Amino acid sequence: MSEELNREREADGVADSIAATAIITVVVVAMYIWLAGMPS
């Protein structure tokens, strides 16, 4: 039973880290595009 819980928690942690990385990447790319379009 505890092995199953550990696997679920590990899978949740991996999913959370992937989601956090994806969100940060989207924000960074959006800022780059926005700033690259500004006149210098």
* Tens-binned pLDDT, residue by residue, of the chain (40 aa): 678 878 888 889 999 999 999 999 999 999 999 999 988 7
What number of CA atoms fall less than 13 Å from residue 1's CA on the CB side? Answer: 0
- What is the per-residue pLDDT for 1? 60
Q: Which helix (H) or strand (E) holds 17?
A: helix 2-36
- What is the per-residue pLDDT for 37? 93
- What is the per-residue pLDDT for 6? 83
Closest CA to 25 of 36, 35, 17: 17
Ordered by start, the domain boundaries in the chain are 1-40
